[in-house]
């Protein structure tokens, strides 16, 4: 690799990180700004065609794995029906409708190639869905549905894409063979994911080193994806299954493992998401220059038609898929007494941004496929259109403006320190109560009254014998509760003896119960010498370990 190529490889990440940093500083949506920056810089940079192998083997597995770790396996079980209807039913429905419309617009194109385009643009992007879920204060159930759909719809779309491409190049595949291939890919991905997740869990139980555990977890998504694809199963499903299992067992790991895992995957998500959205915009110039623009109205008209169909298909599918099961099944009505608010249905219907997986699948079309340049251009317009049209509109669904007060609707928490007129913190209240902040009532007497009565100052804060209080600090400077008198009722003597260590309330820096149990069983305490924790300066091993514990309990 020469120096010029190395510089070109560094330019895109550097620009992407700089634009993302500016967006974070200004509070702007980073994905949209990165896409626009890529579109602007595309004519100024050397032409680079997105390599589908890099996307499917390098970018997609860690992003899916990170999203699966952050997801909840238990919450996904509660929304299994809508997730399946969206990730399987909607993807197949979109593939058929978009493929049929494309075949009407391009009658000379092979029907299988038209349905391949439908499979390419059918699945919403996992990265965009997670970004929207993080930015909006959506209800937890809506977020779980959007993230769960984005985790599994890629497997359905890529399997349908492979079947359509095989039919387009004349591989002689039948409908029965296509259905069998789809079932094998999905079931094989689940089986491989479950087996590898079980093996990984057994291996991680024998490792008590936070650095080694996180290093292994970094390699897991790539290894799982390659293992599933080697047997022609769905690598996407396998990665998602392993990520869900790892995320489910992660709270039982050591605090060092959890702390490092959170920091590592946050950095990984930020870097990969920035590069992915910048690469989407940079594809404009090579895609546009590859088309014949002798009749510009023709490709632009087809692009607008396919983009409109891609939007309408989701809007048409989501409301019936939400309310029809309640009308047809009494079991669903018993399980969900209240129907979903229509505002949630609208947001799910509109949140269908496409992303880099669709572009990678378009670039992976065979070079000798007739109409390949047109299919890539149509895919690019759908991806850019959904990101620039749907992306800015979804955050405009302001929960406060909607006036939602029902349970399960979009609700914004009131700002701290404010209450509506008539409450305790402002305005004239009921029964002539005046506004203003309510002061805490102090106990009778004070420092002087306590000394005059022969008591220790502020003894009422330490409490009478028998009351339980948190003990802060440590060492000789730690304040201890006074011992109970022989005739006092309740409580245990709390002097400087051995019982003083057995305070009912654990102090802030003490390890939790399961960590103390591990220490009693003889497991070594993690030593993170020289590791700066959340901006803390470099400390000794014991001080750094205590800082890790303190930061954990502050979270």
How many residues are recorded in the chain? 555
Least confident of 162-166, 354-358, 527-531: 527-531
Whether 247 has a pLDDT exceeding 50, the answer reads yes
Q: Which has more confidence, 183 or 29?
A: 183
Q: How confident is the model at residue 86 (pLDDT cuts 50, 70, 90)?
A: very high
Q: Which residues of 488-499 are buried (b: 16+ CB within 10 A; e: fewer)?
A: eeeeeebeeeee
pLDDT digits (tens, 9 = 90+) for 312-347: 999 999 999 999 988 888 888 888 888 888 888 888
Q: How confident is the model at residue 488 (pLDDT cuts 50, 70, 90)?
A: very low
At 479 the pLDDT is 40
Residues 6+ apart with CB under 8 A from 190: 237, 238, 241
Tell me how far apart the alpha carbons of residues 447 and 252 are, in angstroms, rounded to a whole number: 47
At 515 the pLDDT is 53
pLDDT digits (tens, 9 = 90+) for 395-447: 555 443 343 333 333 333 444 444 444 433 334 444 444 444 444 555 555 44
At 553 the pLDDT is 35
Distances (CA, A) of 215 to 128, 211, 212: 27, 6, 5
Q: How confident is the model at residue 48 (pLDDT cuts 50, 70, 90)?
A: confident
The pLDDT of 258-262, averaged and rounded, is 89
First to last CA, the chain: 45
At 100 the pLDDT is 94
Q: What is the pTM of this model?
A: 0.68
Whether 506 has a pLDDT exceeding 90, the answer reads no
At 529 the pLDDT is 41
- 8 Å CB contact between 196 and 246: no
Whether 482 has a pLDDT exceeding 50, the answer reads no
Please report which residue ranges of 231-329 form alpha helices under DSSP H. 235-249, 255-282, 284-289, 297-328
At 70 the pLDDT is 83
Maximum C-alpha span of the chain: 102
- DSSP state for residue 294 in the 8-state scheme: S
Least confident of 35-39, 214-218, 314-318, 386-390: 386-390
The pLDDT of 294-299, averaged and rounded, is 85
At 450 the pLDDT is 47
pLDDT digits (tens, 9 = 90+) for 362-382: 988 888 888 889 999 999 999
At 407 the pLDDT is 35
Residues 6+ apart with CB under 8 A from 210: 254, 256, 257, 259, 260, 526, 528
- 8 Å CB contact between 120 and 362: yes
At 433 the pLDDT is 42
Whether 91 has a pLDDT exceeding 90, the answer reads yes
Give the percent of the chain with pLDDT over 90: 23
At 419 the pLDDT is 43
At 516 the pLDDT is 55
Average pLDDT, the chain: 74
Q: Which has more confidence, 425 or 274?
A: 274
- Taking alpha carbons only, the member of 263, 228, 257 closest to residue 60 is 228
Whether 458 has a pLDDT exceeding 50, the answer reads no
Rg (CA), the chain: 29
Q: Which has more confidence, 137 or 218?
A: 218
At 470 the pLDDT is 40
Q: How confident is the model at residue 122 (pLDDT cuts 50, 70, 90)?
A: very high
At 530 the pLDDT is 41
At 188 the pLDDT is 92
Query: C-alpha dihedral over 311, 313, 315, 321, to 10 degrees?
Result: -150
- 8 Å CB contact between 241 and 189: yes
The pLDDT of 498-509, averaged and rounded, is 44
């Amino acid at each position: 690799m020469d120096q010029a190529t190395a510089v070109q490889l560094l330019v895109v990440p550097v620009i992407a990180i700089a634009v993302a940093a500016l967006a974070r500083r200004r509070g702007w949506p980073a994905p949209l700004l990165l896409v626009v920056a890529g579109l602007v810089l595309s004519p100024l940079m050397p032409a680079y065609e997105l390599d589908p192998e890099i996307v499917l083997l390098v970018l997609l597995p860690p992003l899916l794995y990170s999203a699966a770790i952050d997801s909840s396996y238990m919450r996904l079980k509660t929304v299994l029906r809508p997730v399946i209807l969206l990730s399987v039913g909607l993807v197949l429905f979109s593939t058929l409708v978009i493929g049929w419309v494309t075949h009407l617009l391009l009658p000379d194109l092979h029907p299988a190639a038209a349905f391949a385009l439908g499979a390419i643009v059918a699945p919403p992007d996992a990265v965009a869905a997670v970004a929207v879920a993080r930015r909006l204060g959506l209800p937890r159930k809506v977020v779980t549905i959007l993230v769960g759909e984005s985790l599994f719809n890629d497997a359905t779309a890529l399997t349908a894409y492979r079947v359509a491409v095989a039919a387009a190049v004349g591989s002689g595949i039948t409908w029965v063979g296509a259905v069998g291939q789809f079932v094998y890919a999905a079931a094989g991905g689940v089986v491989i994911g479950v087996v590898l997740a079980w093996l990984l869990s057994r291996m991680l139980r024998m490792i008590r080193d936070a650095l080694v555990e996180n290093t292994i977890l970094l390699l897991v998504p790539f290894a799982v994806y390659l293992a599933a694809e080697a047997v022609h199963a769905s690598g996407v499903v396998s990665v998602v299954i392993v990520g869900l299992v790892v995320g489910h067992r992660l709270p039982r790991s050591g605090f060092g493992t959890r702390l490092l895992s959170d920091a590592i995957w946050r950095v990984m998500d930020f870097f990969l998401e920035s590069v992915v959205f910048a690469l989407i915009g940079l594809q404009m110039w090579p895609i546009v220059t590859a088309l014949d623009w002798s009749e510009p109205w023709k490709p632009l008209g087809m692009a607008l038609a396919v983009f409109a169909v891609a939007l309408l298909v989701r809007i048409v599918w989501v409301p019936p898929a939400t309310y029809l099961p309640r009308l047809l099944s009494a079991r669903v009505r018993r399980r969900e007494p209240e129907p979903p608010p229509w505002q949630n249905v609208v947001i799910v219907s509109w949140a269908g941004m496409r992303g880099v997986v669709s572009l990678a699948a378009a670039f992976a079309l065979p070079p000798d496929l007739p109409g390949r340049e047109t299919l890539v251009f149509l895919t690019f317009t759908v991806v850019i259109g959904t990101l620039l049209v749907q992306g800015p509109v979804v955050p405009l669904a302001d929960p406060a403006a909607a006036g939602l007060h029902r349970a399960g609707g979009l609700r914004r928490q009131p700002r701290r320190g404010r209450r509506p007129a008539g409450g305790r913190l402002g305005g004239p209240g009921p029964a002539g109560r005046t506004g203003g902040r309510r002061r805490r009532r102090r106990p009778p007497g004070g420092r002087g009254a306590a000394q005059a009565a022969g008591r220790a100052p502020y003894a009422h804060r330490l409490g009478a014998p028998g009351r339980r209080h948190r003990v802060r600090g440590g060492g000789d400077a730690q304040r201890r509760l006074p011992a109970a008198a022989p005739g006092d009722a309740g409580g245990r003597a709390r002097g400087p003896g051995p019982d003083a260590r057995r305070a009912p309330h654990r102090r802030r820096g003490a390890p939790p119960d399961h960590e103390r149990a591990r220490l009693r069983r003889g497991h070594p305490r993690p030593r993170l010498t020289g590791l700066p924790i959340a901006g803390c300066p470099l400390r000794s091993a014991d001080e750094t370990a205590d800082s890790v514990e303190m930061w954990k309990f502050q979270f």
